[in-house]
Chain A
Amino acid sequence: MSDIPAIELKDVSKRFGPRWGVSRLSYTLAPGRSLLLTGHNGSGKTTLLRMISTATFPTLGQIRLFGKETREHRAELRPQVALLSHANFLYEDLTASQNLTLAARLMGLPDAPQTVAGVLERVGLAARAHNPVRQFSAGMRKRVAIARLLLKAPRLALLDEPFGELDPAGIAQMEGLIRELQERGSTVVLATHLIEQGESLTQERLHLEQGRRQAQEAPA
């Protein structure tokens, strides 16, 4: 395995208006390792994940993924990174299958319709594939979003509250999925309030409080 870290945060700060959502955060995560991100609501977890995903960029400081600065190399990094977030990025008036086919085609996957049918089967939505997302429950939307993550098979997976809105079977499946990503060598960052579940899946922990790194991350 190479020495280049999968994620390298250097003195990263992000401002929202007059407030600093994340401030002076530094951290390094080796490739293939998994990180648990904890903290209260509003502690900066989501902002941090969005910054790592290249959806937004730090106000000050630098983020490098696999040695490449995110702002500069976003076009190159985006195909390798996937973000599962609170906002599910879905078009309400498209069907599950149309949403995923669009994503697959944008990613440049060959054989998009078949691949999409496959992942929809895996998340248990094959029967509802041709219903518009508007008719879906929160948990079903989450499953569509997970299916998109499966399509991408990312080198770096960023999961923001992956267990939220899922039923027990869905949570078990999500755990299986995370382990599968890890076995394939993906780097995983997981933000969740379910600390025990999270700790069983990850090797490192970063605890945020008001956008700052806190000491209680040392495993108990």
Chain B
Amino acid sequence: MKPAGLLRGAWLVLKKDWQIEWRTKARLTATVFFSLSTLLLFSFAMGPGIDVLREHAPGYLWLGILFASVLSLGESFRVEAENQSMTGLLLAPVDARSIFLGKVAGNALLLFSLALVLLPVTVALYDVNLSRNPGALALALALGCVGIAAPGTVYSAMSSNARARDVMLPLLLFPVLVPMLLAAVSATKFALTQDAQEQLPSWLKLLTAFDLIYLSVGFLVFPRVVEDD
């Protein structure tokens, strides 16, 4: 009998997280309601001027996703800390890098589904037009969610074991996400409105570069973070 390989291991970790999510629905419910109220609060804070809201809608959308991601990432490693399940996984055995890949995929998928739930809400609250370039919009959302999930998974694995873990995760994660946020908001904006100067491709490229950099750094660093040597 041969233990599961890298990708098979990642798939099993991802599937396990889905099973947990399916049973409890904790993460999706929490993140959806949290980001819904964030979006609503933005529209209250900015007042009723629909033009301002429409113009800034991409920023509100991404801030909603970003704030919710902290809850979702934290929960994703809380389940591993509960009965030291992370140790159990490693000893099962599964390669730590498989855990990284599975967790990133799981977190990115969850955030992407959250984004899809939020899109109709942005239409209702901010009157944006989703039909201009839906392909690019989906791509921007997907790349952005991977961009949050890749560094977020590494930071969350660390902070779930530190004191004051709820404070530590955003403190570590948010500065690193500055360029991702800038690129994701810009890309989303040009997918929703006129893109006179053809800006969209370069922002999507920047997002892709960000994702690839953090996926590879995370892939290399994550085993050192979770293995107790």
Contact = CB atoms under 8 A, between A and B. Distances in A.
B10 to A, nearest CB: 11
Interface in A79-115: 79, 81-83, 85, 87-94, 98, 102-103, 105-110
B87 interface: yes
Contacts of B93: 74-75, 78-79, 106-107
Given A79-B3, A110-B1, A102 B12 contact: yes
A53 B19 contact: no
Interface stretch (A27-35, A54-62, A167-175, A204-212): A54-62
A93 B91 contact: no
B225 to A, nearest CB: 14
Contacts of B84: 85, 87, 89
Interface string B189-229: 00000000000000000000000000000000000000111
B228 A56 contact: yes
A106 B85 contact: no
B2 interface: yes
A94 B16 contact: yes
Contacts of A82: 91
A108 B83 contact: no
B207 to A, nearest CB: 33
Nearest to B8: A105
Contacts of B83: 87-92
Nearest to A92: B82
Contacts of A164: none
Contacts of A103: 88, 92
A105 B85 CA distance: 16
B171 interface: no
A106 B1 contact: no
B91 A94 contact: no
B55 interface: no
A98 B4 contact: no
B131 to A, nearest CB: 39
B154 to A, nearest CB: 20
B91 A78 contact: yes
A203 to B, nearest CB: 26
Interface residues of B, number: 28
A108 B19 contact: no
Contacts of A118: none
Contacts of A132: 23
B87 A94 contact: no
A149 to B, nearest CB: 11
Interface in B91-105: 91-95
B24 A93 contact: yes
A197 B3 CA distance: 34
A57 B94 CA distance: 17
A90 B82 CA distance: 8
B89 interface: yes
Given A75-B93, A105-B12, A89 B24 contact: no
Nearest to B9: A106
A128 interface: no
Interface in B104-130: none
A88 to B, nearest CB: 5
Contacts of A109: 1
B80 to A, nearest CB: 9
B20 A94 contact: yes
Given A57-B229, A75-B93, 16 more contacts: A55-B87, A56-B228, A78-B93, A79-B1, A87-B84, A87-B87, A88-B83, A91-B79, A92-B83, A94-B19, A103-B88, A105-B4, A107-B3, A107-B92, A108-B2, A109-B1
21 contacts: A55-B90, A55-B91, A57-B228, A74-B93, A75-B93, A75-B95, A78-B3, A78-B93, A79-B1, A81-B91, A87-B87, A89-B85, A89-B91, A91-B16, A94-B16, A102-B12, A106-B12, A106-B93, A108-B1, A108-B3, A109-B1
Interface of A: 53-57, 71, 74-75, 78-79, 81-83, 85, 87-94, 98, 102-103, 105-110, 132
